[in-house]
Amino acid sequence: MPTAKLQALNQLNLNQQISTTLEKCKNLNHLKQLQAFLLTLGHGQTQFFAFKLVRFCALTLANLDYAHFIFAHLNSPNVYLYTAMITAYASQPDHTSALLLYRNMIRRGRPRPNHFIYPHVLKSCSGFSESQGTKSVHTQILKWGFVGYPVVQTALVDSYSRFCSDLGTARQLFDEMSVRNVVSWTAMISGYMRIGEVGNAILLFEEIPERDVPSWNAAIAGCTQNGFFTEAIFLFRRMIIHAEGGNDRNEKPNQVTVVCALSACGHLGMLQLGRWIHGYIYKNGLGPNSFISNALVDMYGKCGSLKEARCVFDMTSERSLMSWNSMINCLALHGQSTSAIGLFEEMMQLGGEVRPDGITFVGLLNACTHGGLVDKGCEYYELMTRSYGIEPQIEHYGCVIDLLGRAGRFEETMEIIRGMRIEPDEVVWGSLLNGCKIHGRADLAEFAVQRLIEIYPNNAGYGIMLANLYGESGKWDEAGRVRKMLKERNVQKTPGCSWIEMDNKVHQFYSADKMHPGTDDIYKVLEGLVGLY
């Protein structure tokens, strides 16, 4: 056999041997043994084997330090090794190291970058400002002539929409793409959803030539996150029809889909649909796991079915902090203060296994508010800040102010408001106002309403409230002035809204609403009910 062929065969055998051995590596010591073997064969600087070692060390063993050690001891790493290291840093995420490594490669002038490296570089731009991140890398892409590659174009669209919130540039790049795949469509839809432009996102979604699960999830999750819960349920049902109707098996919902749908059900109070999704999860092997269980607990709790929520919680074998938080907040939401506090104490008995966070204390403070446990609530507030070092957020301030306001402890309430490190919002002033109404503190109520009007000058409800407060205090001139101001601005009071679930459909109603197709029948029933009394 000729020498060249023999060498090629030996090299092929060695490649297969190294690949097989790598698959059997379970820890860093195993990898080091393989590396030592390669060194004895004179392959210490062989790029192909170095790439395999670096990639396995970084992605499988998750040991970036040793991966970098191997990389740093190579005389001239090629672009594939740079890509492997940058990919590893970006996935950690260690954005600074990823971009510094890319910068060093460019400054050295070798190796020449390829188009595969840029999606990973752009992914690391999230840790930097627009001028330092996406735009700078975009300039490099133009310089090297890679702007026409679809994988690079898609990464640019995602980076501009995700990290810069520059939807104008992202859309321009998207429209200029010669070949758009489902990933680029999904990136653009996610970008619109991220800044709340749900209408544009849905219009784009309807134009996708071929959808996959991530594109459906982008639309459903975006609707849920922006409060378009009915639309999220509508899209979820469409996805189910597509998946089970045989149109496209690649559109079958996954865990992310059902979690978003369960969240929408919880917000709409659609218990029956939530139960159906619960059955769908088990029928299709999507659960149980902590991710799904938390969503089920949250959905059942928001729909008022605490028994089913607790049943799911008790059946969850591996309870994360999110699991405990979901159940504590469900109990607090429905006034089960003693049970919520008891569950927290049970969690604390686990020792350091689960450490409470800010969400835990929101649930506890809510539980204390609903149960009138003022001293207990103050105790938890102190525990949160002093023992756990958790900086109070606007939700915590709102809870504790509501707790103290209901108890009529206004000196403490105002002391907390004055000491807030965050600008008070509608919830804070609304909580103070509620306490003032309970205890007849017209002076503080007037102060709270004035702050609310400053935040939302076009909300007629607050203006009417202030006018009524002036009237009750005999300040008729001030009351007249406020009413005149409301009339001149032509501001409208936000109508009350409610909805019910019937036959797996949500029917939404506004105060004095006559737009529902069943309005005539509804009012006939109401008239009949009124006649009974």
Burial of 322 (0-12, 13-18, 19+ CB in 10 A): middle
- The residue written with tokens 């073997």 in the block is 37
Residue 500 lies in a domain: yes
On the CB side of 467, CA atoms within 13 Å amount to 14
More confident residue, 92 or 207: 207
Name residue 149's amino acid: Y
Range with the lowest mean pLDDT among 30-34, 128-132, 153-157? Answer: 128-132
Residue 407 lies in a domain: no
- The residue written with tokens 């525990």 in the block is 383
Average pLDDT, the chain: 85
Asked whether 366 and 344 are in contact (CB, 8 A), the reply is no
Range with the lowest mean pLDDT among 20-24, 136-140, 372-376? Answer: 20-24
Residue 6 has a pLDDT of: 41
Burial of 329 (0-12, 13-18, 19+ CB in 10 A): buried
Residue 145 lies in a domain: no
- The whole-number average pLDDT for the span 437-441 is 82
Please say if the pLDDT value at position 132 is more than 70: no
Euclidean distance between CA atoms 342 and 375, whole angstroms: 16
Asked whether 268 and 233 are in contact (CB, 8 A), the reply is yes
Please say if the pLDDT value at position 493 is more than 80: no
Sequence-distant (≥ 6) Cβ neighbours of residue 332 within 8 angstroms: 340, 363, 364, 366, 367, 370
508 — pLDDT class (breaks 50, 70, 90): low
Residue 219 has a pLDDT of: 97
- The whole-number average pLDDT for the span 172-201 is 92
Range with the lowest mean pLDDT among 10-24, 110-124, 219-233, 471-485? Answer: 10-24
Q: Please give the residue range of the domain that contains residue 526.
A: 496-533
Please say if the pLDDT value at position 491 is more than 50: yes
Residue 50 lies in a domain: no
Number of domains in the chain: 1
Asked whether 18 and 35 are in contact (CB, 8 A), the reply is no
Euclidean distance between CA atoms 52 and 389, whole angstroms: 44
- The whole-number average pLDDT for the span 361-369 is 95
- Work out the number of other CB atoms within 10 angstroms of the CB of residue 370: 19
Residue 528 lies in a domain: yes
Please say if the pLDDT value at position 185 is more than 90: yes
Residue 250 has a pLDDT of: 65
Q: What proportion of the chain, given as a percentage, has pLDDT over 90?
A: 42
Asked whether 182 and 216 are in contact (CB, 8 A), the reply is no
Euclidean distance between CA atoms 260 and 504, whole angstroms: 17
Residue 243 has a pLDDT of: 81
Please say if the pLDDT value at position 232 is more than 90: yes
Residue 34 lies in a domain: no
Name residue 518's amino acid: G
Residue 431 lies in a domain: no
Exposure string over 153-179, b if 16+ CB within 10 A, otherwise e: bbbbbbbbbbbbebbebbbebbeebee
Residue 410 has a pLDDT of: 92
- The whole-number average pLDDT for the span 504-509 is 66
Cis peptide before 288 (omega within 30 of 0): yes
Instruction: Cite the DSSP H helix spans in 372-459.
Output: 374-382, 394-406, 410-418, 426-439, 442-455
494 — pLDDT class (breaks 50, 70, 90): low
Please say if the pLDDT value at position 5 is more than 80: no
Q: What proportion of the chain, given as a percentage, has pLDDT over 70?
A: 89
Torsion, Cα 327 331 333 338, to 10 degrees, reads -140
- The whole-number average pLDDT for the span 119-146 is 80
